[in-house]
Chain A
Amino acid sequence: MTAARPIATTPNAVHGASDVTIADQLERFIGGVLGPNSAAHVVATERVATGRSRENWLFELTWSDAGGEHCESLIARRDPDGGLIETDRGAEFAVLQALEGTRVPAPRARWLDADGAALGKPSLVMVRLPGTCDYYVINGDRPETERVDLARRFCELLATVHQTDWRSAGFDGFLSDPGPNAAAHELAHWNAVLERDRLESYPELALAARWLGKNPPTSPRTVLVHADFKAGNILLDDDEITGLLDWELAHLGDPHEDLGWITQPLRRREHLIDNAWGAEDLFAHYEAVTGFSVDRAAVHWWNVFSTYKTAIMQVSGLRSFIEGRSDELYQPSAAVLTNLLEATVGQ
């Protein structure tokens, strides 16, 4: 029997769908894929609150085949009724499958219920990796030298993502390459999300959209962009990085996008350490590891874009709340709006 791996994430008390129901659904779904003689059995189903955009269910699967009996720790990620973002489970599944042939540590995708026919909503099942995620580990309780070392390794992980040979790995089979116009492409995408989801007018966002539209940088090269790179999505097992999670926003684009995301002022506590690991340290290390030069002006544009994107995600979250698809109330926050105004119009 294959040994079950340790629980991957720290479970929190959560609410919502019945774990009995989901266990039955998972067992029928996986049993259907493995076949009637597999004796597939789902046990210890537990919902965890990690990841704001998905329902995450941890469970153990036992089954048998010609090789004997097996047990595996898995996680099912199911679309919620609503939330901050709406993404395609099939695309995330394809990204995870393509990552299997690369150096990027990511969960192995097992099964996809693309239309939710078996599990109620579009879902994917992945292998659970050991470790826990801690949003603020970079500024947590560890000694500063350890935290700087960790920040350096997070930077190297991002470099590994960007150095992925996406053509060889087949990413261009399901993701489009925006080429040098990656910034304008992403801006157009998020402008469309804003128009789709807004329930009221946001002159603050109009000011930001105008500024962004006038200054989009040209992408120097196309890379695989994670688009939500943060310690909160990096699994750490003691000191070892065991996985990079949440690939639902991944796309092909400008490497400065991820660099802008992680150095935006509102997220600096997650990535930078005052007086020990600043943005310039991060850029210098990234340049040394990748051999790519970092265009600081482009990073600034992506900093502003990242805050704009955050505001739009909050607009989408507000719509979900008002339409009864989400219980958590989001709305563009004072910090996000003020930050955008200062960046795009000045003090």
Chain B
Amino acid sequence: MRPTIEEHLRGISRTLDEVATTRSIEASAALLSDAQKQLQRLAGSVSIRGPFLRWDNDAMATLMSDLAPRLPDPLRQLAAHVITADAAANGDEHARNERLRSLMTSIVEALPDDDHGDQARRSIADHLRARAAANPALHKHPQRWWDAPTTAEPTDTPTDKAET
């Protein structure tokens, strides 16, 4: 999820560097106001960033596990690998998030143009809408991750529909 906290802080630091070299009081005030808003935005999101990423990662992994059996072979194997390897690694949630979102992008591009594909795209879009609402980096007052609507239930996926 970019910018990372470090990248965001570097940006704020650049703004403050500019204050030091700006002669106009008016311009300095505008810069300081920008920096203050950025810091408030960052401070408001930093504590819930980790829980948000864990929620997003777990929801994506569940969703894509459900979709995997319907995917063409190389992508199905990749999905299985990414999902199981990540679950076992229990590592960096940020890196895991990018791997899962990259996989989701590949799945979106590979889904067939049929009813199952449409339903899978709707399931993915449902999760992405919930993600946009809960993402602390995009909102001053984000919907808290634990309040976000759950992503598609297993019974809503093409796999389970097909089995019923």
On A, residues with C-beta under 8 Å from B are 12-16, 199-204, 206-207, 210, 214, 318, 321-322, 324, 327-329, 331, 333-334, 337-338, 341-342, 344-346
Query: A327 touches which one: B2, B3, B34, B137 (CB < 8 A)?
Result: B34
The residue in B24, B31, B129 that gathers the most chain A C-beta atoms within 10 A of its C-beta is B129
B138 and A201 within 8 A (CB): no
- Which chain B residue shows the least CB distance to A12? B30
Query: A338 touches which one: B10, B27, B98, B132 (CB < 8 A)?
Result: B132
A345 and B125 within 8 A (CB): yes
**Additional A-B contact list (16), CB under 8 Å, known A201-B105, A207-B121, A341-B125:** A12-B30, A15-B22, A15-B31, A200-B2, A201-B98, A206-B109, A214-B113, A321-B3, A321-B11, A327-B11, A329-B3, A333-B138, A334-B133, A334-B135, A337-B128, A345-B122
B14 CB to closest chain A CB (Å) equals 6
* Cα–Cα, bound, A206→B137 (Å): 21
The residue in A204, A344, A346 that gathers the most chain B C-beta atoms within 10 A of its C-beta is A204
Residues of B within 8 A of A327 (CB): 11, 14-15, 18, 34
* Cα–Cα, bound, A346→B126 (Å): 9
Query: B105 touches which one: A203, A322, A333 (CB < 8 A)?
Result: A203
A334 and B2 within 8 A (CB): no
A206 and B122 within 8 A (CB): no
- Majority secondary structure of chain B interface residues (helix, strand, loop or mixed): helix
* Cα–Cα, bound, A318→B98 (Å): 16
* Cα–Cα, bound, A234→B133 (Å): 34
B108 CB to closest chain A CB (Å) equals 4
B139 and A334 within 8 A (CB): yes
B1 at the interface (CB under 8 A from A): yes
| Residues 49-105 of B contacting A (Cβ, < 8 Å) | 98, 101-102, 104-105
The residue in A324, A329, A344 that gathers the most chain B C-beta atoms within 10 A of its C-beta is A329
A207 and B38 within 8 A (CB): no
- Which chain A residue shows the least CB distance to B101? A201
A329 and B27 within 8 A (CB): no
B132 and A206 within 8 A (CB): no
B109 and A331 within 8 A (CB): no
* Cα–Cα, bound, A206→B26 (Å): 43
A-B contact number at CB 8 A: 97
On B, residues with C-beta under 8 Å from A are 1-3, 7-8, 10-11, 14-15, 18, 22, 24, 26-31, 34, 38, 98, 101-102, 104-105, 107-109, 113, 121-122, 124-125, 128-129, 132-133, 135, 137-139
B108 and A200 within 8 A (CB): no
Residues of A within 8 A of B133 (CB): 334, 338
B132 and A337 within 8 A (CB): yes
The residue in A13, A199, A214, A328 that gathers the most chain B C-beta atoms within 10 A of its C-beta is A13
A227 CB to closest chain B CB (Å) equals 26
* Cα–Cα, bound, A341→B130 (Å): 11
A236 CB to closest chain B CB (Å) equals 25
A161 CB to closest chain B CB (Å) equals 34
* Cα–Cα, bound, A290→B122 (Å): 40
A15 and B11 within 8 A (CB): no
Residues of A within 8 A of B121 (CB): 207, 345
A264 CB to closest chain B CB (Å) equals 18
Q: A324-B14, A334-B135 are in contact. Are A203 and B124 (CB under 8 A)?
A: yes
B104 and A201 within 8 A (CB): yes
Residues of B within 8 A of A337 (CB): 128, 132
Residues of A within 8 A of B34 (CB): 327-328
* Cα–Cα, bound, A334→B8 (Å): 18
A310 CB to closest chain B CB (Å) equals 14
Residues of A within 8 A of B132 (CB): 204, 334, 337-338, 341
A214 CB to closest chain B CB (Å) equals 8
Query: A13 touches which one: B15, B24, B102, B129 (CB < 8 A)?
Result: B24
- Which chain A residue shows the least CB distance to B122? A345
Listed by A's residue number, 12 A-B pairs whose Cβ atoms lie within 8 Å are A15-B18, A200-B98, A202-B105, A206-B109, A207-B108, A207-B124, A207-B128, A210-B109, A322-B7, A324-B11, A324-B14, A341-B125
